[in-house]
Amino acid sequence: MNDIDVAACAQTALGYQFKDVGLLVTSLTHSSIANSRVQSNERLEFLGDSVLGIVVCEELYRRHHNWLEGDLTKVKSVVVSRRTCAVIADEIGLTGLLILGNGVAGRNALPTSLRAAVYESVIGAIFLDGGFEPAREFVLRTILTHLNLAAESQTHQNFKSVLQQHVQKYLSATPRYELLDEQGPDHSKCFEICVVIGHRRFPSAWGPSKKDAEQEAARKAFDLLREEDSPNELNE
């Protein structure tokens, strides 16, 4: 395909119509075929990387009011990683529209870094062509599934950490975990554990291991704390 055909296909794939189609073509042009690296998509990749970061940071900040910096950073690092960006480039059809030199185009599989770069460079091109809002809309439309999965994974795996950070920040206390009961044969025990904060005991949870029971108990306690208007009531 020539550049005009590539641009037409790309705009359909992106769901965005460029005013300056030249920006789009540049965002798809790898350094292996460009007259110089300055004319490749590398500069747009640099810009798009920053736009992607601020969009993801803003979305996580708005969604997760009780997450601390460490939790937000962990999810962001997964969502904006090369691996995720490369997968998105494949999903929306960008990988097949890359304009490559013969040496690169002949490979059976394109490197993750190259596929990730085209996603970021397209974000940079949309930002320059239409401003922040179109770029933000494109990022959220294409990355939302991955963001949701990363956020869900982070929450499920780290309820004890999230609860501890929350309690230390707002109550100046540390959660304790009490083993209330255990049932079943040695090879298949179940454990009942509850969270205690100050003098308050939260609803217990069962799990096939102490670790699982503690995580579920932490989740229950954290959910209750989030529903309360004033966490300071726990100190009474």
Pairing of strands 205-207, 176-183: unpaired
Domain 3-157 annotated CATH 3.40.50.10470? no
Name the residue ranges covered by the structural domains of the chain.
3-157, 159-235
Same fold flag, 3-157 and 159-235: no
* Adjacent-strand bridge partners of 191: 182, 207
Looking at residue 150, its pLDDT comes to 87
Q: What is the torsional sign of CA 18, 23, 27, 28? A: positive
Q: What is the value of pTM for the model shown? A: 0.67
For 193, the 3-state DSSP assignment is strand
Q: What is the pLDDT of residue 6?
A: 84
Tell me: the pLDDT tens digits for 6-50? Answer: 889 999 999 999 999 999 999 999 898 888 888 899 999 999 999
Q: Show the DSSP H helices in the chain as ranges.
A: 3-14, 21-27, 42-63, 69-79, 82-91, 102-105, 112-130, 132-157, 159-171, 210-227
Residues of the chain scoring pLDDT < 50:
229-236
State the DSSP code for 200: E
**Partners of residue 195 on adjacent β-strands:** 177
Q: Which helix (H) or strand (E) holds 96?
A: none
Catalytic residues: 49, 120
Sequence-distant (6+) residues with CB within 8 A of 131 are: none
Confidence (pLDDT) at 230: 40
CATH number of the domain at 159-235, please?
Answer: 3.30.160.20
Answer yes or no: are the C-beta atoms of 220 and 203 closer than 8 Å: yes
